[in-house]
Amino acid sequence: MGDKMVWLDRSEIVTGLIFNGDLDANLVNADDFYPPYNEIIPTLRKGGTTEDVVAKHGFSYYQAATMAANAVTADKEQAKRKPIDWLILLEQAASYYKYGQELAKMADYLIMGQAIDPGKLLQFVSGLDLGHRTLTPLSQVEPEAGQWIKTGYAPIDYYVGGIPKAGLITVAGGTGIGKTTLALRIGLDMVRLYKGKRKTKTTAAEPAGKIAIFSLEMLLSQVMARYLDLDKTITKEERSRILATESAYTVGEIYAVAARTAANENLKAIIIDFADMLVEGEQSEAVMGVIYRSLAVLAKTTGVPVILVCQLNRTQYTGGIPKINHIRYSGMAEMMSSLILLLYNPSSTVADVNANAILPFYQDKGYIIIGKSRFGFKMGKPGAIQTDFYGETGWGNIGYHYFDVFV
């Protein structure tokens, strides 16, 4: 009740300041006002007079608003605040109340003995706006030299420049094309690249980098076996910096766990295998939209690249060079991803031998196609990196050539 009264009080004060001519009605967001003041603001925005407000909404609300504004103006302490300060306090109160209402619903479920999704709760709390909506002067922002972070995986680093340091990277391909293998290889190479540095007389200590893997399809024992297939020289120390779970998390739970881990560990990448396993219930454009958007926000919020493995649409992709529109729910993937990698291995199926001359067939050679890059293409245009592809060991670590390709 207390938060409700604070929201109501501040709604009355700001509305009164508008009536008194101290604030412009066009500066405020009607949704931030407690009812019925949220309906009075549009009337004032349309050029309505005091008489119009009284006629439509009643005299009592006009009286309450002007009395509240006059009271804070007359108070010596409160008068130190500028009218715009009250607008900021109103936005804050509205935010607190609306978040509190949602949290109260979750609490009611718990009190009644019903389960809630703890991941969604943590994700919700992590998004609580404790301040107000505002803009930041660029004079307060330090410039950042680049948008990319090196991975240690040579084909991507050389031909792409790395991966976006706070972006969603979608890795897509058909069944058995090595999507998981590529994501795991990039993760291992990042662990090896970011070994950490000891403190010296001239430099500060830098903790060793870690990666987080959310394996929604494979057991952790299978993930470990896959790593040994990739590289039997992987050390115990390197394995200690690969944090993994096989739990069937929802996207909300992944958001919460990953954000908490990023806050406490020096995470260099978050790997999720794979997108379709995040869906609860029936798949739809709206459901997948929430998943892609949540993971893009996770990357931006934590500053850690999120690598999402996903499938191609079997009804649209029947072989040949994959394109962005072959990705399941490709619209959301293209919209939310900072980088899209499409995997193509013509040697994996007889049907694709010499089927696409633009990407020639070579035994044990595959292609990592750069389908989208939000921050530009290092090679000037979309293209395909030719590299080795050997069965269980998957994608090689040498990029042989960059082919132009229309995606």
Residue-level pLDDT, tens digit, the chain, 407 residues: 445 689 999 999 999 999 999 888 888 888 889 999 999 998 888 888 888 889 999 999 999 999 999 999 888 888 888 888 898 888 888 888 887 888 888 888 889 888 777 666 665 665 554 445 667 788 777 777 678 999 999 999 999 999 999 999 999 998 888 999 999 999 999 999 999 988 888 878 889 999 999 999 899 999 999 999 999 999 999 999 999 999 888 888 888 789 889 988 999 999 999 887 887 666 677 778 888 988 998 999 899 999 999 988 877 887 888 999 999 888 888 999 999 999 998 876 544 444 445 788 888 899 999 999 999 999 999 999 999 998 767 899 999 999 988 65
Which tens digits make up the pLDDT trace of 75-120?
A: 888 888 888 889 888 888 888 888 788 888 888 888 988 877 766 6
The Cα 171–Cα 308 span in angstroms is 6
- Counting Cα atoms < 13 Å in the Cβ hemisphere of 278 gives 26
Burial 168-197 (b: 16+ CB within 10 A, else e): bbbbbbbeebbbbbbbbbbbbbbbbebeee
Q: Are strands 163-164 and 306-311 parallel, antiparallel or unpaired?
A: unpaired
Place of tokens 């990448």: 269
Q: What is the amino acid identity at position 242?
A: I
- Cis status of the peptide bond prior to 36, with omega within 30 of 0: yes
Q: What pTM was computed for the model?
A: 0.74
d(CA 332, CA 59): 49
Q: What distance in Å separates the CA atoms of residue 248 and residue 385, rounded to the nearest whole number?
A: 33
User: Is 279 strand, coil or helix?
Assistant: coil
Query: Residue 391: how many CA atoms within 13 Å on its side-chain side?
Result: 2
Closest Cα to residue 346, out of 403, 298, 288?
A: 403
Relative orientation angle of helices 2-19 and 83-111, to the nearest 10 degrees: 150
Report pLDDT for 354: 44
E strands of 256-304, at which residues?
267-273
As to burial, measured by CB atoms within 10 angstroms (0-12 exposed, 13-18 middle, 19+ buried), residue 296 is buried
